[in-house]
Amino acid sequence: DSEGIFLSVAHWYPPHTSCTYLIQGRPDQIVRLYFPSFRINRIESPIAVFDGDCGESLTLYDASWPDDSRIIKTFCDTFSRAMEKHDFVSTGSALFVRFESKTGSYSGSSLYYWAHYDFFNNTRYGRPLPDTVCDEQFAAWVKPSGYLRSPVNTLVYKRTTDLKCRYHFITDRRLFARVVLTVTTLNFKDHPLNMAPSSDCWDGRMDKVLIWEPSVHQNSSQHSPVSSSSG
């Protein structure tokens, strides 16, 4: 299935109960999980006494198993704030969820949640660059030719800030190689909130594609514009 839901435990369960959910996508997918409804209460009908914090917890892992080094978020019954309609997104194709109760309960979980998950295509044509939303690197010695396109993962467009995707092409300097970039298809959608015409392609607030070439006399982080197109 492309999406689904699961719910918190609503019946009695013994102390030291653990409920796990493995949400596994295809290799080219990532997983999004959010809670349309989420409430956190004190444990009302415990079976066993527990005086510490986190008698019951819900933990999200950015992994296919409960890897403590890949915890996204842990919710505890004693001090956590519920986060409704917040996107928790994996970096890989799996997301693991675990509910744990040290006390057990006669009346169901103190963490009441309705969880919704879905999968998104995260296909990349180059090497994803770390700590970026959509930057990619294309090295000639890895693949001498290929394709690229705008991100197919629609989650990257759910941003309140400007989105910039940079594609870096690297050749072997010893071979004095060049890069040939052929644009086969380029379409821009009308933006309902930005219909005013603009003649300033470089600095105007609009969707655009800029093609840059590094100058041989400049640092690699400084570039000179070669061509542009905007919508």
Q: How far is CA 93 from CA 28, 29, 65, 134, 157, in A?
A: 7, 5, 12, 17, 19
Let me know if residue 173 belongs to a domain: no
Asked if 108 and 10 touch (Cβ cutoff 8 Å), the reply is yes
Q: Which of 19-33, 44-58, 74-88, 157-171 is predicted with the least confidence, judged by mean pLDDT? A: 157-171
73 in any annotated domain:
yes
pLDDT at residue 140, rounded to an integer = 93
How many distinct helices (H) and strands (E) make up the chain?
A: 0, 13
pLDDT tens, residue by residue, 6-36: 999 999 999 999 999 999 999 999 999 999 9
Q: How many CA atoms lie within 13 A of 204 on its CB side?
A: 17
Is 101 part of a structural domain of the chain?
Answer: yes
Distance of CA 99 to the CA centre of its chain: 22
183 located within any domain:
no
Question: Would you say residue 230 has pLDDT above 70?
Answer: no
Nearest to 97 by CA among 115, 121, 120: 115
Pick from 47, 57, 58, 56: which is nearest to 106 by CA? 47
Which range marks the domain in which residue 79 is found? 3-120
The Cα–Cα gap between 183 and 49 comes to 66
* CA 93/CA 103 separation, integer angstroms: 33
Q: Is residue 47 part of a domain?
A: yes
Q: Hey, which residues does 214 pair with through a beta bridge? A: 223
Instruction: Check which CATH number belongs to the domain holding 92 and give it.
Output: 2.60.120.290
Domain-located, residue 84: yes
Total structural domains in the chain?
1
Q: What is the pLDDT of residues 189-223, one digit of tens each?
A: 776 666 666 677 777 777 888 888 876 545 444 45
Residue 169 inside a domain? The answer is no
Residue 141 inside a domain? The answer is no
User: What's the 3-state SS for 152-218?
Assistant: CCHHHHCCCCCCCCCEEEECCHHHCCCCCCCCCCCCCCCCCCCCCCCCCCCCCCCCEEEEEEECCCC
Find the range with the poorest average confidence among 16-20, 105-109, 121-125, 184-188. 184-188
